[in-house]
Amino acid sequence: MSNALFRKKSIDAIQKEYDRGQEDGQPMNLKKVLTVRDLTFMGVAAVIGAGIFSTIGKAAFEGGPGVIFLFLITAVTCGFTALCYAEFASRVPVSGSAYTYSYVTFGELIAWVIGWALILEYAIGNIVVAISWSAYFNNLLIGMHIHLPDWLTIGYQTAKIKYDSAVAAGLPLGDLVYTNAPSVGPLKFIINLPAFLIVVIITILAYIGISESKKSANFMVGLKLVLLAFIVIFGFYLIIADGTSDNWSPFLPNGMDGVLRGVSSVFFAYIGFDAISTTAEECKNPRRDMPKGMLYSLLICTVIYILVALVITGLVNYKEFEGVADPLAYVFNKINMPKVGLIIAVSAVAASTSVLLVFQIGQPRIWMSMSRDGLLPKRFAQVSKRFKTPAFATLITGLLVGIPTLFIDDLLMTDLTSIGTLFAFVLVCSGVLVLPKVNKARDQFKLPYINARYIVPVLVAVFIYFFKDRLSAACANLSTESYEEILFILFIVVAIIAAVLSFIKGYSLIPVLGTLCCLYLMITIPAKSWLVFFGWMAVGLIVYFIYGYRHSRLIGKKG
């Protein structure tokens, strides 16, 4: 049974299926229309979203102006990962992203786990983004003097939580949404209608075709880049004109520890650049264009995040961002420029819409790949003859994201989404280490080889030296330490093993550093989120053994 659990798909077999374009006698070809520019814009569309309009405030409060270092650290980590994704994309030009890549390197069980983790990442991420979109859209309507009933702009769970909190605190209840909402029998009728409607619209757009989706994404990306450029230029002008640059001092008020406390918020902002790898089958030249699109989008987004972080921490003191959900709007309202808030609202709506679109495109293609391999029912692999998109999977994705947005509260932790993504990144980076060497065409991306034999051991030794006090304290009090410190000890053990193997086998530096950086970011996420993640993984394993293991197309084949 153990051999069956880790049965692998060969790259040659995947390539033959891709070239043949047939699956069980039915066409499975998707429309090939995406270029480097389209992929770059899709990457920017996915990354410049809720993070820059919401979670950047939390990170700025923790790290002060020095939060820009965290953006650089995260960008470098994502850069290592992007290079590893690019290596896989140049060899395995099919949909499925990290799921497919893990299938050819680690085998079926690990591939399933990754696919299941990506479902969590995309679904929860889009639910959170849709709810955030609804809040900004409602603010935009209010700015245009259009007022929707409050009970149509908030989830039932959110309204009930606020009502229960007011009751417990003995506060007035008359102005609360839950109090004034109409009743349907014993229940209050409270739904987040804008969030649901935008998911419906995005799902329709993703269903009818990749060409239409890319045009919409390109337009929204162009719009938000222009608006963000205005905000950055205007913001720096105000900082210089009003002499508020003192807000940048101290630059690291809480040291690097404070900077690193914002890792989940900042990493959540970067989640999504990998989603463009799910569109490999719709690229005109995936082996050449996919790597460029990933790296270009990552570079553009990092520059934007750093500039915006400097602007908001320059205009107001970093301490004011505690509990602020809309930092950009807060900053300009604070300095008595509410009209700029309208520009921010338009930017936020465009940014969130583009994120929704890229994720709604990505998740069905992962399900489609898992279905082709027999791990999910065949209907998930069904491609529309008219629109050349994964029809059934797209509709199911719309339902699974849209329905929860009607009712639930926006309490879903960015930590949970970050764990799933980092887990996928770790396996992609480490997977590159076991890929066989091949000769590539001149225009095909090739991961640069830098011998890690001496560099990684030295870096690990330096890391241990700087964290020796924490390591000593954690080891001395192992029986009473928190989960976070136990995870830190485990990371040190893994890092030492990586250093030894790098010295012995002469591994390539980039994938080793990508693996270690992602692992370190994972251990900074609170342990309670790990418990929820493991619960989700347990459910996934149950589904796999009930259905996927028995229906895999690799049954009877050797790895």
In sequence order, what are the residues at sequence separation of 6 or more whose Cβ sits closer than 8 angstroms to the Cβ of residue 207?
A: 384, 387, 389, 391, 394, 395, 398
**Any idea where the domains of the chain sit in the sequence?**
35-155+191-433
- How confident is the model at residue 212, as a pLDDT? 65
Kindly state the DSSP code that residue 447 receives in the 8-state scheme. Answer: P
In the predicted structure, residue 467 carries a pLDDT above the cut 70: yes
Average pLDDT of span 471-494: 80
Average pLDDT of span 344-355: 80
Is the model more confident about 97 or about 130? 130
In the predicted structure, residue 2 carries a pLDDT above the cut 70: no
The mean predicted confidence, pLDDT, of the chain is: 82
Residue 188 host element (H or E): strand 187-188
How many whole angstroms from its chain centre is CA 521?
Answer: 14
Specify burial of residue 472 (Cβ count, 10 A radius: 0-12, 13-18, 19+). exposed
**Helices and strands: H and E segment counts in the chain:** 25, 4
In the predicted structure, residue 557 carries a pLDDT above the cut 50: yes
Domain 35-155+191-433 CATH (choose: 1.20.1740.10, 3.90.470.20, 1.10.8.60, 2.170.120.12): 1.20.1740.10
Average pLDDT of span 149-173: 86
In the predicted structure, residue 530 carries a pLDDT above the cut 70: yes
Q: Where are the alpha helices (DSSP H) in 373-454?
A: 391-407, 414-432
**Angle 50-428-277 (CA atoms, 0-180°, nearest 5)?**
55
- How confident is the model at residue 222, as a pLDDT? 84
- How confident is the model at residue 344, as a pLDDT? 79
Q: What are phi and psi of 184, to 5 degrees?
A: -120, 95
Q: For residue 464, give the 3-state DSSP assignment.
A: helix
Cα torsion 164, 168, 174, 176: sign: negative
- How confident is the model at residue 170, as a pLDDT? 86
Average pLDDT of span 54-73: 83
How many whole angstroms from its chain centre is CA 432?
Answer: 21
- How confident is the model at residue 555, as a pLDDT? 78
Cα torsion 137, 139, 144, 145: sign: positive
Q: What are phi and psi of 439, to 5 degrees?
A: -85, 135
Are 70 and 260 a contacting pair, CB within 8 Å?
yes
Average pLDDT of span 190-207: 92
Structure tokens at 254: 């809480």
- How confident is the model at residue 161, as a pLDDT? 83
Are 51 and 269 a contacting pair, CB within 8 Å?
yes
Average pLDDT of span 228-243: 89
In the predicted structure, residue 257 carries a pLDDT above the cut 80: no
- How confident is the model at residue 441, as a pLDDT? 66
Kindly state the DSSP code that residue 153 receives in the 8-state scheme. Answer: B
Residue 508, beta-bridge partner list: 451
The string of pLDDT tens digits covering residues 389-443 is 888 999 999 998 999 888 876 554 556 667 777 888 888 888 888 887 777 666 6
In sequence order, what are the residues at sequence separation of 6 or more whose Cβ sits closer than 8 angstroms to the Cβ of residue 375?
A: 108, 112, 115, 544, 547, 548, 551, 552
Q: How confident is the model at residue 465 (pLDDT cuts 50, 70, 90)?
A: very high
* Listed range (16-25, 320-329, 486-495) with the worst mean pLDDT: 16-25
Specify burial of residue 444 (Cβ count, 10 A radius: 0-12, 13-18, 19+). middle
Q: What percent of the chain has pLDDT over 90?
A: 17
Cα distance between residue 384 and residue 32, in whole Å: 15
Q: How confident is the model at residue 86 (pLDDT cuts 50, 70, 90)?
A: confident
- How confident is the model at residue 199, as a pLDDT? 93
- How confident is the model at residue 455, as a pLDDT? 95
Q: What percent of the chain has pLDDT over 70?
A: 87
In the predicted structure, residue 285 carries a pLDDT above the cut 50: yes
| Integer CA distances (angstroms), 69 to 198, 234, 509, in order | 34, 23, 22
Average pLDDT of span 483-497: 88
In sequence order, what are the residues at sequence separation of 6 or more whose Cβ sits closer than 8 angstroms to the Cβ of residue 497?
A: none
